[in-house]
């Protein structure tokens, strides 16, 4: 048996059980699975003896893995890591699905459609893999931080990324180990921050079918497309698990474990204190499932490019709504800063992971993630402005001073200067001015101001909805709004208004929030996500070769390691 992290693919000779019961695997099929997943045939047989497929039941992924660790300790076997064990499970029991079950803060991923056989001795083990009789006798079971129990043996092994002590306890130094990192008990701060997250149960997108109307590339079959779709679904689940657990530092490794191309995986992390290396032998999920020529040709096909683009835009929009469900709601500064740091690193992390892939695929992936990063930075800045402005709007003395200064502004002069540039309806401008004064005088809350701004957008843009130039009208509205507000700020500056600082803050917030509202209105009119709309302005960046050369698998010079995009400075 070969120890270490396994990255093998699904063997072609395997069969899966479609109904209730264990799969019907002959000796040759079991041997193929054992070789591909780097486990012993004894382990494959152990799975068949103890588990069976069944409808309407599920098992936590961590429970299956803990059972496996107990099996390895009992038979003096070197366990593979949890990711490789997941591949083994899916190879033996075809068609398994994963679902997140449980309450917020305590939810876990489950394999759906599998159970322990009624006559299996595993029924005498707890979820963490320890025998129930030990617990009932009050025995002390030492646990690792990941919550994995140990069974005392005289066995001691060491493998890449994992230490298994003589007590069976596991200490993981694998940079991405779902048991050690994701399955661990969340910290109190993480639990607290999770209370501010949006609904994660709807964040996984429903993956569309891959459009096969276009010619299929040479060497690529429809089954390859279907396999890619299934693998991409599981990858999205892993990404979402990192997001929900706020373990942003693991995203780089998740991407490299999925996209890595063998000898291109030795990439130094952008965090100099966190050097994550993936073994040359440990190919990424895609590279382990498809021959290199098939993978390269498939990722050049319009069908796959369109599929990835559509899924990424929807998935990334869902991620934004999980992390920042309400841009005006107060959230902890620690969470805000974590999200901003996460956004700053996204493009670099994904660029590193995509080394060696076709330029077309890189551009699709980086354009989408650049839109995600930009959106997260904008929304966290908007949230920061909202909290600062909330204090101003709740201060009656400041509101009184603002009203006094606003009444001294020469709006006639402002209108004369702005009319030539903006050519707006004078009556509309006058009505908005009076509404603004009335809302300010009523000392409305930030949420009431947000409703007023939404009303302004609706009144101005609704008549244009459905027109081919709706996006153009929306952009013009933003420019005119910004120009008028800058003219008012200019007048306040020239008059040395005492409330200038308050007006400046309010102006920054309202400009940003107006952009947010218009962005969503345009997206709704086009039937797109806001991230997809914003990506239209990022997709013109040029794909360039960087580094020391070309990392193509097939020698095609159109394959490049990364893509450069404009940088957005943090505010």
**Full DSSP string of 102-161:** SSTTT-EEEEEEEEE-TT-GGGGB-TTS-BHHHHHTT----B-TT--B----S--EEETT
The full length of the chain comes to 571
DSSP string spanning 362-398? Answer: HHHHHHHHHHHHHHHHHHHHHHHHHHHHHHHHT-HHH
Phi and psi angles of residue 465, each rounded to the nearest 5 degrees, phi first: -60, 140
Q: What is the pLDDT along the chain (571 residues), one digit of tens a residue?
A: 333 333 333 333 333 333 445 566 666 666 656 555 567 788 888 899 999 988 778 888 888 888 888 888 888 788 888 778 888 888 888 778 777 776 555 567 788 888 898 888 888 776 655 554 433 433 333 333 333 333 333 333 333 333 323 223 323 333 344 433 444 566 788 888 888 999 888 898 888 899 888 788 888 888 999 999 999 999 999 999 999 989 998 999 899 889 988 644 344 344 434 433 333 334 678 888 888 889 999 999 999 999 999 999 999 999 999 999 999 998 888 899 999 999 999 999 999 999 999 999 999 999 999 999 999 999 999 999 999 888 888 888 989 999 998 888 888 887 777 777 777 777 778 888 888 888 888 888 889 999 989 998 988 888 888 788 888 888 888 888 888 888 888 888 888 889 889 889 989 999 999 999 999 999 988 889 999 988 876 654 434 433 333 333 333 333 333 333 333 334 3
Q: At what angle do helices 500-526 and 396-407 cross, to 10 degrees?
A: 90
Class of domain 27-184: mainly alpha
Q: What is the pLDDT of residue 459?
A: 86
Q: What is the pLDDT of residue 35?
A: 55
pTM above 0.75, yes or no: no
Q: Check the CA dihedral 284-290-294-297 and report its sign.
A: negative
Residue ranges per structural domain of the chain:
27-184, 200-383, 395-530
Q: What is the pLDDT of residue 343?
A: 94
Q: What is the pLDDT of residue 326?
A: 93
Q: Cα(551)–Cα(123) distance, rounded to whole angstroms?
A: 49
CA 273 to each of CA 239, 254, 359: distance values in angstroms, whole numbers, following the listed order: 22, 18, 30
Q: What is the pLDDT of residue 283?
A: 63
Residue position matching structure tokens 């933003």: 478
Q: What is the pLDDT of residue 29?
A: 63
Q: What is the pLDDT of residue 286?
A: 86
Tokens representing residue 156 in the block: 């001691």
CA 253 to each of CA 30, 147, 232, 274, 508: distance values in angstroms, whole numbers, following the listed order: 31, 22, 16, 11, 37
Burial label, 56 (beta-carbon count in 10 A; 0-12, 13-18, 19+): exposed
Q: What is the pLDDT of residue 200?
A: 87
Query: 99 forms bridges with which residues in the sheet?
Result: 110
């Amino acid at each position: 048996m070969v120890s270490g992290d396994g990255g093998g693919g699904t063997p072609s000779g395997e069969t899966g059980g479609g109904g209730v019961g264990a799969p019907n695997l002959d000796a040759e099929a079991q041997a193929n699975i054992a070789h591909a997943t780097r486990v012993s045939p004894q382990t494959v047989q152990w799975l068949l003896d103890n588990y069976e497929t069944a409808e309407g039941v599920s098992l936590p992924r961590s429970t299956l893995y803990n059972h496996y660790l107990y099996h390895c300790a009992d038979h003096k076997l070197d366990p593979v890591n949890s990711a490789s064990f997941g591949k083994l499970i899916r190879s033996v029991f075809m068609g398994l699905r994963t679902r997140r079950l449980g309450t917020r803060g305590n939810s876990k991923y489950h394999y759906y459609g599998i159970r322990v056989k009624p006559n299996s001795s595993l029924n005498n083990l707890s979820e963490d893999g320890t025998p129930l009789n030990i617990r009932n006798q009050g025995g002390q079971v030492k646990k690792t931080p990941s919550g994995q129990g140990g069974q005392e043996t005289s066995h001691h092994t060491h493998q890449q990324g994992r230490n298994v002590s003589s007590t069976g306890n596991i200490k993981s130094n694998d940079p991405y180990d779902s048991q050690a990192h994701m399955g661990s008990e969340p910290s109190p701060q993480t639990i607290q921050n999770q209370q501010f997250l949006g609904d994660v149960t709807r964040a996984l997108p429903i993956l569309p079918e891959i459009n096969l109307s276009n010619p299929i590339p040479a060497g690529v079959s429809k089954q390859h497309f279907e396999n890619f779709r299934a693998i991409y679904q599981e990858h999205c689940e892993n990404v979402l698990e990192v997001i929900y657990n706020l373990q942003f530092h693991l995203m780089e490794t998740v991407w490299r474990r999925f996209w890595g191309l063998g000898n291109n995986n030795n990439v130094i992390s952008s965090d100099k204190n966190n050097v994550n290396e993936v073994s040359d032998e440990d190919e990424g999920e895609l590279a382990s499932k498809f021959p290199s020529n098939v993978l390269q040709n498939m990722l050049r096909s319009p069908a796959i490019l369109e599929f990835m683009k559509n899924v990424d835009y929807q998935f990334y929009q869902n991620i934004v709504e999980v992390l920042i469900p309400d841009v005006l709601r107060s959230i902890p500064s620690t969470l805000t800063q974590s999200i901003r740091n996460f956004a700053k690193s996204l493009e670099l992390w994904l660029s590193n992971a995509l080394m060696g892939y076709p330029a077309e695929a890189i551009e699709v992936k980086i354009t989408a993630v650049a839109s995600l990063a930009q959106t997260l930075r904008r929304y966290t800045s908007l949230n920061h402005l909202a909290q600062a402005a909330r204090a101003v709007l709740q201060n009656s003395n400041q509101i009184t001073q603002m009203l006094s200064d606003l009444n001294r502004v020469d709006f006639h002069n402002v209108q004369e200067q702005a009319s030539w540039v903006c050519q707006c309806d004078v009556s509309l401008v006058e009505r908005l001015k009076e509404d603004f004064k009335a809302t300010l005088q009523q000392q409305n809350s930030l949420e009431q101001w947000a409703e007023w701004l939404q009303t302004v957008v609706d009144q101005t843009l609704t008549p244009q909805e459905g027109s081919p130039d709706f996006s153009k009208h929306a952009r013009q509205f933003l420019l005119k709004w910004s120009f008028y507000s800058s003219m008012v700020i200019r007048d306040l500056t020239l008059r040395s208004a005492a409330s200038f600082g308050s007006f400046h803050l309010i102006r920054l917030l309202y400009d940003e929030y107006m952009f947010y509202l218009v962005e969503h209105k345009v997206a709704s009119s086009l039937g797109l996500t806001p991230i997809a709309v914003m990506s239209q302005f990022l997709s013109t960046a040029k794909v360039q070769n960087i580094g020391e050369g070309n990392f193509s698998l097939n020698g095609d010079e159109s394959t490049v390691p990364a893509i450069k995009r404009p940088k957005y400075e943090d505010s």
